[in-house]
Amino acid sequence: MPFKLKDKSTLFGYDKQTSTFDTPVFEKDLGDQVMAEANRDGTIFINKGLSPKQKEDAIEHEKVHLNQMHQNRLDYNENEVIWKRDTKSPMKVYKRQELSEGNANLEWENEAYKS
């Protein structure tokens, strides 16, 4: 009996249109306030229901954060965001509960909004 193989994007659940080989993108329900998230494992979550233009902009923004993480300048855990502007600057630790995450005034966000 013949059978049809599933597409890899269907099998693994990533968004075929926006993913690249090194950056899989997954659509998820992220709530009303979040458009996208960059993850330390190199993946990006984008909020379901975004327009193609919003997806493109959000992914471009989150790729800046992925680069910051790759350069060991940005890290996070459940309670903190750790930021280092450059190799000569000290590391700063911010309490997540005290942050307005995504705010363009935060140094790591400012870089991402400029790109």
Angle, vertex CA 60, rays to CA 56 and CA 65, nearest 5: 145
**In-domain check, residue 1:** no
pLDDT digits (tens, 9 = 90+) for 10-27: 777 778 888 888 899 999
pTM summary value: 0.86
**In-domain check, residue 3:** no
**In-domain check, residue 17:** yes
Q: Six-digit token pair at 115?
A: 């790109």
**In-domain check, residue 50:** yes
% of the chain with per-residue pLDDT over 70: 99
pLDDT digits (tens, 9 = 90+) for 97-113: 998 888 899 999 999 99
Domain count, the chain: 1
pLDDT digits (tens, 9 = 90+) for 59-70: 999 999 999 999
**In-domain check, residue 48:** yes
**In-domain check, residue 2:** no
**In-domain check, residue 5:** no
**In-domain check, residue 4:** no
pLDDT of 51 strictly over 70: yes
Structural domain boundaries, residue 33: 12-114
Sheet holding 74-76, edge to edge: 74-76, 80-83, 92-95
